[in-house]
Amino acid sequence: MKKAESIVQKVFPRFGVNKQREISRLLYEISRRENISPQEVIRTPPSGDFKKVKETLVKRRFPHASLHGELPPPFLPGLSLDPSARALPGENDYSPREVVVEQEVAHSWLSDRVRSAFPDASFSEVPSMKRHLAARTRFTLADYSKRRDLLFIVSEPHDFFKRCPCTKGAVPCGYHVFNLGFGCIYDCTYCFLQEYVNTPGIVLPANIEDYFDSFVRYRRSPRARAWHRGGRMRIGTGEFSDSLMLDHITGYSSPIIDFFKKHLDTVFEFKTKSARIENFLDAPHGGNIILSWSLNPQGVIDTDEFHTASLRERLRSAGRAAAAGYRVGFHFDPVLYFQGWERAYAEVIDAVFQAVRPRDIAWISIGTLRFSPGLKQVIENRFPENKILDGELLPGYDRKLRYPDSIRYPMYEKMIEKLRKHSREMPLYLCMEEKSIWRRVGIIPPFTS
């Protein structure tokens, strides 16, 4: 970036600071995308005033969007790389150095399990996590990168579950989120938690019975009855964490499976990138538990989903879950656009149907890469080698950065066509996607919202 800045200062000395910043950003992004130096990008400097120069570089940075007349003003923030924010490589195995337990749950089943799972960690008790952290007003990306070292066991006071907020302007899928934990031991380059988490560790609640009480109260409320109109409510963990990342230690799944046997009007989903399904295999369940996996080609898992299970392990687990009588789900989310994407995802789809039968599948969702503008700088700080930001990501209908329609639509179309070759009946839905795209790909929302 420094190189790009100094070239811009030399070549366009009359541009003001903000204009130089935008041109430097464009130069930097083009040089990454085309794998050449910023110097080469500007070998023959575009002529004209700032507007002309910017226009020329924007067209080169977003060639596809420009060709299809889909070029909103791009998001061109300043760039400052902080080496301390970089994601730490770490081991795939999770082993926190420090565990902080709230006094109220110091003798809970969860603290006992965590103590025996991590005998070398240092344990301390505090009256409340919130107060313990009160002196810290700001959490940095460096804290986020070290979050695997610190584990909190808490008594969650109120944030039990809620309707999924979806995204403004998208077709909702009526999902509810069971907030069982905050923070994830995995490290996906595109994860929104990097920008969202305000705790320097992983947080696990020990008072799971309070979640069940709050669910029962909610389910009886007139509001919930009106919303679900007799349809089955879909609910799941996995919005602020991975549902099964530590299930071999927490054992959260066992009471959940047991509880939802009494609530067959609800379908409960565990979403994961792990292969931690041992607690499910022999558990008697009510047929309303869905185990689901986020899927990507192995090449993407290697470069963008650190510490997670391989594609083969995820699909093998799905096959084992189906053999144990569970219905399974798959989430192609986020689908990334790169050279050869179509073939890579087609191979994953074929592998899915080698692992499970169509009738074992409860649903499949598809969602292309999108994220809030603020996450762009977080990703480049934490994962400077990432390739996902080289894509043509532009502010979309909800202001999130996403591929333009002319890239997204054919991606959905091709994925759906390939999936439908395996099964015409299986429920498919798009995640956080606007009505016009649903209409164009011809999918009817399979769930009540």
Question: Residues interacting with ligand SF4, by CB under 6 A?
Answer: 184, 186-188, 191, 193, 241-242, 273
DSSP 345-356: HHHHHHHHHHHS
3-class SS at 412? helix
Residues in the chain: 449
Q: Which is nearer to ligand SF4, 282 or 385 (CB)?
A: 385
Whether 186 contacts 245, CB under 8 Å: yes
- Assess contact for 173 and 431: CB atoms under 8 A: yes
Question: 355 to each of 238, 320, 322, 326, how far by Cα in Å?
Answer: 23, 9, 9, 14
The CA radius of gyration of the chain, in Å to the nearest whole number, is: 23
In the bound state with ligand SF4, the residue whose beta carbon lies nearer, of 241 and 250, is 241
Please write down the HEC assignment for all residues of 267-300.
EEEEEECCCCCHHHHCCCCCCCEEEEEECCCHHH
Least distance to ligand SF4, CB of residue 203, Å: 13
Beta strands in 336-391 (DSSP E): 361-368, 370-371
Nearest Cα neighbor of 18 from 7, 5, 2, 1 is 5
* C-beta atoms surrounding 399 within 10 Å: 14
What's the min distance (Å) between Cβ of 231 and ligand SF4? 27
For ligand SF4, give the closer residue by CB, 101 or 202: 202
Least spacing, CB of residue 238 vs ligand SF4, in Å: 7
User: Which 8-state DSSP code applies to residue 6?
Assistant: H
Residue 68 CB, nearest approach to ligand SF4 (Å): 30
Residue 276 half-sphere exposure toward CB, CA atoms < 13 A:
20
- Measured from the CB atom, the residue of 242 and 433 that comes closer to ligand SF4 is 242
Judged by CB, which is closer to ligand SF4: 102, or 143? 143
Nearer Cβ to ligand SF4, position 5 or 187?
Answer: 187
Q: How far is the CB of 30 from ligand SF4 (least distance, A)?
A: 28
Question: Shortest approach of ligand SF4 to residue 318 CB, angstroms?
Answer: 16
Residue 405 C-beta: closest distance to ligand SF4, Å: 24
| Cβ closest to ligand SF4, residue 29 vs residue 239 | 239
- Bridge-based pairing of strands 401-402 and 394-395 is antiparallel
Structure token pair of residue 321: 């879950």
